[in-house]
Amino acid sequence: MTFPSENANPDETIEMLETSDRRLGIMCSHCARFRYLKLTNYALEDTLSSLTRSLKCSRCGSEEVEAVAVERDDQTGYWPAERS
């Protein structure tokens, strides 16, 4: 998977994700779930760090989640698969 990158910026905004053709994902540290979130559900000025503080896992309820910017795989062009 191509997230999060070593140079990931927690202050990136939803608008920055939209303009760079990336998607918003949520990763749960507790149950290892990864899901995509719709960018349109959030304000353009929301940052990854603010979303990380406000989100929780819908599967296990843990607040130990991270909002991440997700890029397509360079070789295949596909988006990484979700994990439950």
**pLDDT above 70 as % of the chain:** 92
Picking from 44, 47, 50, 40, the residue whose alpha carbon sits closest to that of residue 12 is: 47
pLDDT confidence of 1, banded at 50, 70, 90? very low
pLDDT for the residue 8: 72
pLDDT at 69 over 70: yes
Please state the domain extents for the chain: 14-70
pLDDT at 81 over 60: yes
* Bigger pLDDT: 7 vs 82: 82
CATH number of 14-70: 2.20.28, 1.10.287, 3.40.50, 3.30.70?
A: 2.20.28
